[in-house]
Structure 1
Amino acid sequence: MTNKAAILVAGGRGTRMGGPVAKQYLPVAGQPVLMRTLSVFYQVDSSIDLILVLPKSDFMYWDELCEDYKFTIPHRVVAGGNSRFQSVRNGLDSLKTETKLVAIHDGVRPFVDQKVILESFEVADRSGSAIAVVALKDSIRKLRDDGKSFYEERQYFRLVQTPQTFQVEKIKKAFTVTELQQFTDDATVYENQGWQVTLISGNPENIKITTPEDMDYAEFVVARQLRDR
């Protein structure tokens, strides 16, 4: 019996992809994005309770995809809400009572490194949270309402990824509040309780697939992974 879970959130409609099929269901090198993401977590620990949050209207389509691709990795499907916040809360409400740690992950980030997942659970177990981030490569500027911009020291900033992993007792308490505009991710919900988040190093390949260009990059990453095996 495991005390770990992973909630993979995939409630989006993929409008920026420009096609009739949402991005999470599109194939990358012959396998839908969501199946690749679920596979990474399963490979880390086959006992992790995998929870996939989808729009309720997509349940039948997902079942058909699993049958078509002979996808047999054990997972549970939970209905999403009208926002990411509500979808995550639905996922949290579905956790088993023995679950102590939960990783919350964007379903369309299939290239998270297994080492990042492992470290996120280890750090969250000690400190309460573990948020995957990567350093910026480009220079950045801050825009003001008057149209002026100012240089900022990029070493003081990080790009936030997922997984964002937490002690279940804390993150469930954090999600009991009313949804606020500043809740851009799970870390901001956690911080709203007055708790400091702990950052860990993510991996640069762990992009959130959103646009057709991202799909091209995804094909490249898979090809490189196959070549390096």
Structure 2
Amino acid sequence: MKEYVIIVAGGSGSRMKSDIPKQFIVVNGLPILMHTLSAFNNYSPEISIILVLPEDQFSFWEELCSKYQFHINYQLVAGGETRFDSVKNGLYSIKGEKGIVAVHDGVRPVISKTVISNCFTTAAREGTAVASVACKDSIRTLNPSGTNMALDRSLVRLIQTPQSFRLEWMREAFNQPYQLIFTDCASVLESAGYPINLVEGCYENIKITTPEDLKWAEVYLK
């Protein structure tokens, strides 16, 4: 079955305290986003990669590709106002009728072939597959009254990307109007009535958000 990946990168870099968007920060000799695209290309040169960026970042990205001699094949698509809109734009660019679509954060460059493969394989079989890991820390909920309560962490999973789905299911789900509860693609599919299957992710698959995350990424990408 044809495999696609929509890589969404629309960060501003504010929490990173950076003058450039975080996806363009150089780690181990390459901008973060190039590591991410390379991970999927290394998984399978046959995969169709769709990169979604804010349109005003196109020229800067193209300059970086020229500077770093980055020649992986991909389709560049303009992002939307929200992540939901950006994924939807990427989805609209797919012309095929059937296939499996993974959605991945552009700033998760440390993603393994095993996790990518498991997401595609499970989605092909079950319809959905979302990478996740067990929670290591104790968890408490906060209530409006100011009280808090401990939760059983064995009942909690930390959600990552890739999140993979049958193409036709995604198209139907993303025809819904946007809702604030749509924090990721899994919540969109779930709202449309589709079951969500969790697959094992990996703790190295961090989302680079703060300067501390860069230090971990440097270690993992070696």
Bin for the TM-score computed over the shorter chain: over 0.9
Query: 3-state DSSP class of the match of 1:177?
Result: coil
Equivalent runs, 1:169-208 vs 2, <5 Å? 169-208=168-207
Instruction: Structure 1: give runs of 5+ residues left out of the alignment.
Output: 224-229
Question: Following the alignment from structure 1 to structure 2, what is the Cα–Cα distance between the partners of residues 11 and 29?
Answer: 21
Equivalent runs, 1:106-185 vs 2, <5 Å? 106-185=105-184
* 1:4–1:99 Cα contact (<8 Å) kept: no
1:216 is displaced (CA, Å) by: 1.2
Question: Following the alignment from structure 2 to structure 1, what is the Cα–Cα distance between the partners of residues 122 and 136?
Answer: 26
Question: Following the alignment from structure 1 to structure 2, what is the Cα–Cα distance between the partners of residues 81 and 148?
Answer: 38
Moved more, 191-200 or 11-20: 11-20
1:96 is displaced (CA, Å) by: 2.4
4+ residue segments displaced more than 2 Å: none
* 1:5–1:99 Cα contact (<8 Å) kept: no
1:31 matched residue in structure 2: 30
1:112 is displaced (CA, Å) by: 1.1
2:50 matched residue in structure 1: 51
1:99 is displaced (CA, Å) by: 4.7
1:4 is displaced (CA, Å) by: 0.9
Deviation string for 1:193-226 (max 9, x for gaps)? Answer: 1111000000100000011111111112123xxx
Question: Following the alignment from structure 1 to structure 2, what is the Cα–Cα distance between the partners of residues 169 and 202?
Answer: 24
* 2:50–2:90 Cα contact (<8 Å) kept: yes
Query: 3-state DSSP class of the match of 2:50?
Result: strand
2:92 matched residue in structure 1: 93
Question: Following the alignment from structure 1 to structure 2, what is the Cα–Cα distance between the partners of residues 84 and 93?
Answer: 14
Change (3 A) 1:75 1:198: same
Query: 3-state DSSP class of the match of 1:16?
Result: coil
1:98 is displaced (CA, Å) by: 4.7
Deviation string for 1:131-187 (max 9, x for gaps)? Answer: 000000000011111000111100000000000000000011100011001001000
* 2:88–2:174 Cα contact (<8 Å) kept: yes
TM-score (norm 1): 0.95
Report the identity percentage. 47
Partner amino acid for 1:170?
Answer: W
* 2:98–2:168 Cα contact (<8 Å) kept: no
Partner amino acid for 2:148?
Answer: S
* 2:97–2:167 Cα contact (<8 Å) kept: no
Instruction: Structure 2: give runs of 5+ residues left out of the alignment.
Output: none
Question: Following the alignment from structure 2 to structure 1, what is the Cα–Cα distance between the partners of residues 82 and 203?
Answer: 26
1:87 is displaced (CA, Å) by: 0.3
Partner amino acid for 1:77?
Answer: L
Q: Give the number of equivalent residue pairs.
A: 222
Question: Following the alignment from structure 1 to structure 2, what is the Cα–Cα distance between the partners of residues 119 and 151?
Answer: 32
Question: Following the alignment from structure 2 to structure 1, what is the Cα–Cα distance between the partners of residues 165 and 194?
Answer: 12
